[in-house]
Amino acid sequence: GAVVSQHPSRVICKSGTSVKIECRSLDFQATTMFWYRQFPKQSLMLMATSNEGSKATYEQGVEKDKFLINHASLTLSTLTVTSAHPEDSSFYICSARPASGGLDTQYFGPGTRLTVL
Amino acid sequence: GNSVTQMEGPVTLSEEAFLTINCTYTATGYPSLFWYVQYPGEGLQLLLKATKADDKGSNKGFEATYRKETTSFHLEKGSVQVSDSAVYFCALSDRANSKLTFGKGITLSVRP
């Protein structure tokens, strides 16, 4: 149980295009989902926290107009990288907190590798 | 702000060797501490956690003790297996907002 999926697992796009990444909780409902970014040999950096049905809360330094987050249901959150540029190339990871779990509980997706040419 | 520092890697060990991965933290208040493991091609999985000083988290033969006096949460295993090969992340959770702060992660390779 407690599986989180991400789609796609890998995406390559041209500079200037937008890319959408999906994060799904497959066997539980998630009131809160988190989006992280990971650079090579670096730690996971929290980008934003999204709660179902409300606007996402972005961490300092993260451009909310560039990284659009939607959490329209209790099992799906999406991250859209708008007008992507090569510096947006990174590994994006989502996690989900179950509605019935403790505040410390997060289940992680396998990540999405974004490459912007 | 909060931060987590892990020892530099990668680490390569022979099967049945003793493992120690160091982790220290800086935080305001009293955070919860975690070790996550990421196997190849998979998402991060919680390995163990401790929520207060002197607590010991344990799972799958791994142990870590919450040391408030040294602000550390070192991961240990007495005898590693090839199947333990993975990336290990130390993390803390701020009690005020439950956000996770991660260390850089360390790659462990265990050879037969």
**Cβ–Cβ contact A30 with B under 8 A:** no
Interface contact A42-B34, CB threshold 8 A: no
> What is the rounded distance in angstroms from the CA atom of residue B80 to the CA atom of residue A82?
44
Contact between residue A79 and residue A21 where contact means Cβ atoms under 8 Å apart: yes
Residue type, A24: R
Interface contact B43-A4, CB threshold 8 A: yes
Residue indicated by tokens 């993390």: B91
Q: DSSP secondary-structure letter at B67?
A: B
Please, what is the Cα angle at A4 between A7 and A86, to 5 degrees? 40
Contact between residue A87 and residue A117 where contact means Cβ atoms under 8 Å apart: no
Q: How far is A40 from chain B (nearest CA, A)?
A: 9
Residue B87, Cβ density class (10 Å: 0-12 exposed, 13-18 middle, ≥19 buried) = middle
Please, what is the Cα angle at B100 between B65 and A4, to 5 degrees? 105
Q: How far is A99 from chain B (nearest CA, A)?
A: 14
> What is the rounded distance in angstroms from the CA atom of residue A49 to the CA atom of residue A32?
7
Per-residue pLDDT tens for A56-71?
999 999 999 999 999 8
Neighbours of A5 (CB within 10 A): 14
Interface contact B89-A44, CB threshold 8 A: yes
A79-99 exposure pattern, b = at least 16 Cβ within 10 A, e = fewer: bebeebeeebbbbbbbbbbbe
pLDDT at A104 over 90: no
**Cβ–Cβ contact B31 with A under 8 A:** no
pLDDT level of residue B28 (50, 70, 90 thresholds):
confident
Task: Look at residue A105 in the predicted model and tell me its pLDDT.
Answer: 86
* Selection from A91, A16, A104, A14 nearest residue B95 by Cα: A104
**Cβ–Cβ contact B34 with A under 8 A:** yes
- What residues of chain B lie within 8 A of the CB of A60, using their CB? none
Contact between residue A69 and residue A35 where contact means Cβ atoms under 8 Å apart: yes
Per-residue pLDDT tens for A14-58?
999 999 999 999 999 998 999 999 987 778 999 999 988 888 999
pLDDT level of residue A1 (50, 70, 90 thresholds):
low
**Cβ–Cβ contact A35 with B under 8 A:** no
- Write out residues 64-103 of B within 8 Å (CB-CB) of A: 89, 93, 98-103
**Cβ–Cβ contact A100 with B under 8 A:** no
